[in-house]
Amino acid sequence: MKGKIEVFKVIAVFLILITIFGGLGCVDNQAEGESAGTIENDSGNPSSGSGEVLTIFHAGSLSVPFEELEAEFEAQHPGVDVQREAAGSAQSVRKITELGKQADVLASADYVLIPSLMMPEYADWYAAFARNQIVIAYTNESMYSDEINANNWYEVLRRPGVTYGFSNPNDDPCGYRTQMVTQLAEFYYDNSTIYDDLILNKTGMTATTEENGTVLVHVPASEALSPDTSKIMLRSMEVELSSALETGEIDYFYIYRSVAVQHGFEYVELPPEIDLGSIEYADNYSKVQVEMANGEVVTGSPIVYGVTIPKNAKNPELATEFVKLLLDEPGQQIFIENGQPPIVPAISEGKDNMPEELQALVE
């Protein structure tokens, strides 16, 4: 598994370098618990329930732009009811691959989950369509909000009384990316205790250093994560922590920049060397790997979102129309307005297997 993920990482980075990133700048779960996800349908379409249904499984961090895509799609397709189910990306994929659920569209906050967990049995192509970066979100009511910045954020999180949150690495890419960012901070700030103080000593996670200097973070089964709840709030999806920040239950949390922008949060923009948002630092990001409880190993890399139409889709034609909207100019504009730069054109794997009308929108 580790080798397969590495191959796709190298391919994607190479393709992105030669096609798009030269002209782009850097710019995704309420307690989901044991539920299958959050079903979202906010369009108010009067035909909902009486016509065709388009089912979409997507990362929690895509909720806001996908809500707007839903409204636009239903306006263009009267009688179609778009039903979105938001969850951690790994959890969304497992609904299809392990639970046998059907979805017409699957959109992940980490494109690698598609080739590594779905292809070739459950999908035969994907398109990488958007990027993001990790930030530390807060409000003006957060403790030390008038002091925190890119140079001292880890010191502020250490302080007595300060609480912070992140999502479960077993369920959500933002969770394992939190581990990467915090571990990379040790290298960047030349401080070997940052990860230990903020995560290692306050959860069931462990870490080892390989002979080549790469740090491998080991994530135990979810029930063994055992966070120190006086300091850390752990949830299945990163978006679930938004309400906790708004109500003052926590002071800070690790989140995608786009989600912070969409919720109007203040945020610390981390150095590009550690925020997983810059292709220029891809080699630096790869110094950290995270092994989930199921044995899957993910290597640090720039954050790239992916979309596919699963092989078991009930409405592949409608799904094609939705993905076309996502990848074309209207979808690109929605993502730009929500603080999440699109990849233009989207980068594909398995292009020959894509519906013909989508092939013109990808490299």
pLDDT digit string, tens, across residues 258-300: 999 999 999 999 999 999 999 899 999 999 999 999 999 999 9
Please tell me the total number of residues recorded for the chain in this structure: 363
Return the C-alpha torsion angle 115, 109, 347, 26, nearest 10. Answer: -140
Tokens of 99: 């639970």
pLDDT score of 39: 57
Residue 159 backbone phi and psi in degrees, to 5: -65, 145
pLDDT score of 206: 97
CA atoms of 115 and 121, how far apart (whole Å):
10
DSSP state of 209: E
pLDDT digit string, tens, across residues 157-172: 999 999 999 999 999 9
DSSP state of 26: -
The answer to whether residue 15 scores a pLDDT higher than 50 is no
CA atoms of 161 and 201, how far apart (whole Å):
16
CA atoms of 109 and 132, how far apart (whole Å):
9
**pTM (two decimals):** 0.79
pLDDT digit string, tens, across residues 295-349: 999 999 999 999 999 999 999 999 999 999 999 999 999 999 999 999 999 999 9
The answer to whether residue 109 scores a pLDDT higher than 60 is yes
Is the separation of the CB atoms in 176 and 298 below 8 Å?
Answer: yes
